[in-house]
Amino acid sequence: MSIPTRIAGSRPAPTDLIWVALLGIPAAMLGVLTVRAAFAFPDYRDFHIFWSAGRAVIDGTPVYPRAALSAVSGQDQFVYPAPAAIAMVPLALLPLGASATVFLALNAVALMLALRLLGVRDWRCYAIAFCSIATLQTLTLGAITSFLLLGTACAWRWRDRRPVAAAAVAAVIVAKLFLAPLLVWLWVTGRRSTAIAAAAIAGAAGIAGWAVIGFSSLRDYPHLMSVVSDHEQRFGYSVAALAIHLGGGATPARALTVLVTAALCLLAAVVGRERGGDRRAFSVAVVASLALSPILWLNYLLLGLAPLALARPRLSRAWAVLLLAWLFANPNTVAPLWKVILFQATVAAILAVAVLERGQRRSPGTA
């Protein structure tokens, strides 16, 4: 990840200077974000939600809002599964500003570790990743997408070590249920015992989480998620949002989401049997996860780094999709149709790169 050494006294190439300047952008950005997080600015909203959920667990107060539109319309309430609230308890023991700073640092480190585990050694890829709108939104909002990417990368890196792979897949599914297609990848590539173990661990973690905060909230949780999905799915870039933009209601949107996800899971099963099928099936499963989510924000594009990094571990034109994503950045309002289409086209481009790269790339440290 270091800059190639040059002969003493020689001038650096213009392209090297450009990349050094580009690498300085995320460094400066992280410095600014650290200061903002330390003072707990309101726009660090996702982490405020997580921190408040951790405090609720400590204080023994309700973690979830009422399952009503009036309670969730502000998009400022904790709606993740119970284990995610438990995981925030250590950070909630700290003052908000200090906790936010620690979380920001961990978020940045998680992204770098994920790329490393996915086999990326080209420092220019790291620069592009940190300059992408997906990373910026993850860091500025205090989202957990970097940690989801890290868990997904761990599942790939140690895919043939059953305890590690099962724990990694379970962890990301517990945090975000839409990552369940990773179980399909494990299953179609012959790791059925790992898939079963991951599902069992996720289920046990869910039961344990709700045992801590109280099973009474579990009864209303499915209805809460339904209310949140119906309200928010029109805002983001998901398949459901695309269906709604095209004139469909909630039911057609759900149907299209299921149809696209099922088609991608079938594709994972097909490519999993071919040469280089393990990596390709994994990549398709990650994209299937993005298709499955009824609420898809721009920072979720960070998960697309997994298939992209495995197919192109060194800088190539394919990495430009992360920078082009700036074109469809949108405030926290309903994104126009052309931006939703462009987002889905970007995901499709990442999928094409991953599937059409037929050679099996060997990940460092794996069998």
Q: What is the mean pLDDT of residues 176-182?
A: 95
For residue 239, pLDDT over 80 is answered with yes
Question: How many Å apart are CA 246 and CA 239, to the nearest integer?
Answer: 11
Task: Decide if pLDDT at 197 tops 60.
Answer: yes
Range picked from 6-20, 41-55, 137-151, 233-247 for highest mean pLDDT: 137-151
pLDDT at 6: 42
Q: Is the pLDDT of residue 8 over 50?
A: no
Rounded to an integer, the average pLDDT of 163-170 is 97
Average pLDDT, integer, range 109-124? 94
Residue 365: pLDDT band (50, 70, 90) is: very low
What pLDDT shows up at residue 7?
40
Q: With 70 as the cut, is the pLDDT of residue 29 above it?
A: no
Residue 144 predicted with pLDDT over 90: yes
195-201 — which CB contacts under 8 Å span 24+ positions?
A: 195/166, 195/169, 197/162, 197/163, 197/166, 197/170, 198/165, 198/166, 198/167, 198/169, 198/170, 198/173, 199/170, 201/166, 201/167, 201/170
Q: According to the model, what pLDDT value does residue 219 have?
A: 81
pLDDT at 214: 85
Percent of the chain at pLDDT > 70 equals 82
- Compute the average pLDDT of residues 273-299: 91
Quickly state the pLDDT bin for 66 (edges 50, 70, 90).
confident
Selected residue with higher pLDDT from 249 and 94? 94
Mean pLDDT for the stretch of residues 16-24:
62
pLDDT of residue 359: 52
CA proximity to 46, closest of 34, 37, 57, 56: 37
Taking alpha carbons only, the member of 118, 289, 264 closest to residue 188 is: 264
Under the banding of pLDDT at 50, 70 and 90, the label for residue 230 is confident
Residue 42 pLDDT > 70 = no
**Structural contact between residues 104 and 33, judged by C-beta atoms closer than 8 angstroms:** yes
For residue 145, the model assigns a pLDDT of 95
The identity of residue 151, as a single letter, is G
pLDDT > 80? residue 357: no
What pLDDT score does 37 carry? 57
pLDDT for position 123: 85
pLDDT at 3 over 50: no
Q: Is residue 145 within 8 Å of residue 152, measured between CB atoms? A: no
pLDDT at 84: 92
Return the SS3 of 296: coil
Does 362 score more than 60 pLDDT? Answer: no
Q: Which amino acid is at 74?
A: G
Determine the pLDDT at residue 171: 96
- What is the pTM (predicted TM-score) of this model? 0.88
Maximum average pLDDT range among 22-36, 40-54, 302-316: 302-316
Q: Give residue 34's pLDDT band: very low, low, confident or very high (50, 70, 90).
A: low
d(CA 28, CA 21): 11
Distance of alpha carbon 23 from alpha carbon 114, whole angstroms = 18
Q: What is the pLDDT of residue 2?
A: 41
| Predicted local confidence at residue 32, as pLDDT | 66
Pick the closest to residue 136 from 289, 2, 346, 323 (CA basis). 323
Out of 47-51, 177-181, 226-230, pick the least confident.
226-230
